[in-house]
């Protein structure tokens, strides 16, 4: 066995040990965190599929959170506003940017139409999330 191969094996063993130790430390800090068991052969196909599904669920949750944050920003609200505040903000902003106010200016009319649609989508998104229990209003 060449020196390079031996060094590579030693490095791989040390990295595996460090990763396992780091995993234990992370698991102690967050008991709900699931970490793969590392062995010489690596994770099985079933384990890889399980962790892939976990990553996909986490990405979907981050995406949903980003979508809700964007909706709150569109309505100029802080995170956790209740349904009444959401409806009130929607009405206030819609009064300000309603397309009928810009009937004589085609360029501003187009912008107001787009903005009113975005405001309505944001309101519906947040109200739906509150109804489903995704967000608990504070």
- Whole-number pLDDT of residue 1: 60
Percent of the chain whose pLDDT exceeds 90: 24
- Cβ neighbours for 33, distance < 8 A, ≥ 6 positions apart: 26, 27
| Tens-digit pLDDT profile for residues 75-127 | 999 888 889 999 999 999 999 888 888 888 888 889 889 999 999 999 999 99
Report how far apart, in Å, the C-alpha atoms of 131 and of each of 9, 86, 128 are: 55, 13, 5
Whole-model pTM?
0.59
């Amino acid at each position: 066995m060449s020196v390079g191969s031996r060094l590579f094996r030693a490095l791989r063993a040390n990295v595996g040990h460090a990763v396992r130790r780091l995993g234990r430390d992370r698991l102690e800090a967050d008991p709900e965190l699931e970490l793969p068991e590392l062995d010489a052969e690596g994770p099985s196909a079933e384990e890889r599929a399980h962790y892939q599904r976990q990553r996909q669920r986490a990405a979907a949750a981050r995406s949903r959170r980003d979508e809700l944050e964007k909706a709150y920003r569109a309505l100029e609200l802080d995170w956790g506003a209740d349904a009444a505040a959401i409806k009130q903000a929607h009405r206030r902003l819609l009064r300000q940017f309603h397309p009928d106010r810009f009937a004589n200016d085609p360029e501003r009319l187009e912008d107001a139409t787009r903005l009113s649609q975005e405001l309505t989508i944001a309101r519906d998104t947040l109200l739906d999330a509150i109804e489903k229990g995704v967000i608990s209003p504070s």
